[in-house]
Amino acid sequence: MSAGRVLEVYLDLLSQPCRAVHILLNCTRIPHRVRTVALRKGEQRTPEFTQLNPMQKVPVLVDDGFVLTESDAILKYLVTKYHAPQHWYPRQPERRARVDEYTAWHHSNTRPHAARVFILEVQVHTDTGPGPRPDRVPSGWGRPAAGCGPTGRHAGQTGVHVPAQTAFPLRRRRQPGRPAGTV
Ligand SMILES: N[C@@H](CCC(=O)N[C@@H](CS)C(=O)NCC(=O)O)C(=O)O
């Protein structure tokens, strides 16, 4: 990092890709400054942020004038540029390819499906009912996680809008015995 220009990341920690960047930065102790972009307040649509990322999405990295979006690219850039330990992103081609294989798969598999489970099991209940179902919320939810994990309260604050047409089929699938409005 060039002197005096601290690496900046634009994040909302309610966002999974942002948390991945945040976790890596903290675990590898790369000096950085977090600039929060509150998605629920629409801060990703301000002219200043749009200039940084015309796609109006977080995370965004700014490293001495170099602007980079897409968490996968940011993670790999950070490890390479700041010489993070090899286990994060090995140099050996086959081992590196295994990481790339997973990260390529993650975006169209783990992430959307996990997000869907979260939205249906937690978000919908929080937005339309008494709150997340206790049996769907991990113990320790809302308390800062130990070590390098994400911190803060996430329930009901994902910034994800659940359109009515998404919620409708859920009502039809409602299990007997559960109050209306629950999945
Ligand atoms: N593929 C991108 C996804 C970025 C993304 O979808 N960010 C979401 C938060 S998880 C966002 O900024 N959404 C704001 C919006 O769409 O208005 C990455 O991994 O960085």
Model confidence pLDDT, tens digit, residues 4-26:
689 999 999 989 999 999 999 99
CATH of region 7-107: 3.40.30.10
Where along the chain do its domains lie?
7-107, 116-172
Nearest residue (CA) to ligand 1, atom 14 = 57
Give the alpha-carbon dihedral of 20, 83, 32, 149, to 10 degrees: 30
Kindly report the pTM of this predicted structure: 0.71
Nearest residue (CA) to ligand 1, atom 6 = 57
Q: What phi and psi values does residue 39 have, to the nearest 5 degrees?
A: -65, -40
Closest by alpha carbon to 20, among 76, 96, 101?
Answer: 76
Is residue 176 pLDDT above 70, yes or no? no
CB 20 near ligand 1, within 6 Å: no
What local confidence, expressed as pLDDT, does residue 173 receive? 41
Tens digit of pLDDT for each residue in 107-136?
A: 889 988 888 887 887 777 777 776 666 676
Q: Which segments of 53-163 does DSSP mark as H helices, in order?
A: 71-81, 93-108, 110-118, 124-128
Is residue 42 pLDDT above 90, yes or no? yes
Q: One-letter amino acid identity for 162? A: V
What local confidence, expressed as pLDDT, does residue 138 receive? 63
What local confidence, expressed as pLDDT, does residue 160 receive? 39
Token digits for 7?
A: 């690496």
Q: Which of 57, 67, 68, 70 to mutate to test the pocket of ligand 1 (most atoms within 8 A of CB)?
A: 57
What local confidence, expressed as pLDDT, does residue 74 receive? 98
Q: How far apart (Å, rounded) are the C-alpha atoms in residues 173 and 112? A: 21
In 10 A of CB 46, how many CB atoms?
13
Share of the chain above pLDDT 90, in %: 55
Cα 74 to ligand 1 centroid, rounded to whole Å = 13
